Amino acid sequence: MKDEKTLNESSPAKIDGATYASMIVSAANSIHNQKEAINELNVFPVPDGDTGINMSMTMSPAAELADYSGSISECADKVASSLLRAARGNSGVILSLFFRGIAKGFAGKDSVDSVDILKAFDMGVAEAYKAVQHPTEGTILTVMRASVETALEKASNKDYEVDNLFDYMVEVAEHTLEETPEMLPVLKQANVVDAGGAGFVAILEGMRAALKHQPVEAVDKTDVPATAKKANFAEFETFDIEFPYCTECIVTKSEAYQGDGKVEEFHQFVLNAGNSAVFVEDTEIVKVHVHTKDPGSVLSQAIRYGSLYTVKIENMQNQHTALIEEEAPAAPVVRAPEKQYGFVSVTMGEGMKTLFADLGVDSFVLGGQTMNPSAEQLIEAVNATPSEIVYLLPNNSNICLVAEQVAKIVEDKKVIVIPSVSVPQGIAAMMNFSPDETPEENTANMIAALSSVKTLDITFAARDSTFDGQEIKGGQILGLVERKVKYVTDTREECMDMLIDHMGDASFVTLFYGSDVDPEDAERMADHLREKLGDDVEVASVCGGQPLYYYVISVE
């Protein structure tokens, strides 16, 4: 067969950094062009079916690779780093970790052949699987694994040329995707294939197209977010009088010092120059923060190793800045600890935000249904929280995985993820925090509190669909129990009556009403519940202000 060329018949084609960059750009355009179709594959017709958007936004940093020229190792590292920080939703995190594994497989190589690619892709699959504690067959992971494993088996004694290899992987991925409904009953019920798997196929197709010199062009780039490169640098707020100058700089290394571990002498100098020292070395830059009596000596030492990219000196005693400041992109703020515990919450709606603020949350990230924040946004919120330990509340099942990756990325603070999958769970966790307890005790208590609350939702069908054998029309009212569609009705009142069956043992019910609900209507709904549930159950209505979801209901 033509696609089984061996080394004896023809030398395998190799790809370099520029080719790999074009493959990634083409893949990003491919998923961008198909994102709406992929959104439509989400099993539940609730208005937060956003797998396509999440995967597209995760791949969006590919725009930075235009005209890339360098080794494939460097290119793969750049891709892995930028995708992880842009990752949104579970599918986005899994995808970014796949490319992180590829980067490990390409490490130290200028170019790669089909054997190298297969080994690196296999490492990518292994990295992706590590992110999911209990993998389910019939998802993006299955499509990834099958396409790589089958290629490895078939090519065990034959070395494919790269374009033929991708032909085969795409073929296997497409076949596996078609089989996902047989692996996952909920897909079969909805008569769709897995959305994440479809996104992965789109990405493989984009990579293959670039190899065949027919790269995919984005149909419409206006809604692809810009991914401006930012320096990940710490700006500390402190009032150290003994060492009054907060000195910060980023050094672009000269060629002799590029790489890892070549500026240790500078590192030791910074550690001895004062206190509150932070020294972060990348292959091409060094980021320094130190409180010192002599900022000039730090800068003089710094320029021995390269050029100053940014400089900032603040006189903390006089409470003013700008003794020295070069024009540069604003660096992310990392606030110095002012207390032991701090909190970051993902939420939507001013009412929800106010409630979490009243419970002690320091920083907020806008997100939830239809809007999964990126890892970078969560990192910025964590860094802006003035505490040694930051509890991170994702409040959405599709954000938990991103939050876990953030906990691994952040170095300046200890991040503890409380895996809340709804706002009521997040509130319950906050109410079970005690400043007098140890971090371990608080973590255990907050996680235990998640199971003490049940979450019900009333929203609407975003599109026509079929679920569990039932025809659903766009605009119909949906009742969700723990984020799963349970009821389909024509009115919110009828839906609430059905959800009452899931409030049987409640002692307290809170209706968080959304931005599309009139306060008087919300109070009438609360009165209706009081009548149905009886005097033993306390019912409260609170303005959550969340979009799309008429009611988020907390049952305790």
The predicted structure's pLDDT at residue 506: 85
More confident residue, 247 or 227: 247
Q: How confident is the model at residue 159 (pLDDT cuts 50, 70, 90)?
A: low
The predicted structure's pLDDT at residue 282: 62
> Residue 438: is its pLDDT beyond 90?
yes
The predicted structure's pLDDT at residue 427: 92
The predicted structure's pLDDT at residue 398: 83
The predicted structure's pLDDT at residue 144: 93
More confident residue, 147 or 282: 147
- Between CA 279 and CA 91, with CA 443 as vertex, the angle to 5 degrees is 70
Using CA atoms in the order 367, 373, 377, 383, what is the torsion angle rounded to 10 degrees? 70
Please compute the mean of the pLDDT values over residues 93-106 and round it to a whole number. 90
The predicted structure's pLDDT at residue 156: 54
Please compute the mean of the pLDDT values over residues 526-548 and round it to a whole number. 88
> Residue 2: is its pLDDT beyond 50?
no
What domains are defined for the chain?
Answer: 15-211 (1.25.40.340), 245-325 (3.30.70), 339-450 (3.40.50.510), 454-555 (3.30.1180)
Radius of gyration (C-alpha) of the chain in whole angstroms: 26
Closest CA to 42 of 262, 193, 234, 150: 193
Q: How confident is the model at residue 303 (pLDDT cuts 50, 70, 90)?
A: confident
> Residue 45: is its pLDDT beyond 60?
no
Question: Would the pTM of this model clear 0.85, i.e. be above it?
Answer: no
Strand order, beta sheet including 454-460? 484-489, 477-481, 454-460, 551-555, 508-513, 538-543
> Residue 119: is its pLDDT beyond 70?
yes
Q: How confident is the model at residue 370 (pLDDT cuts 50, 70, 90)?
A: low
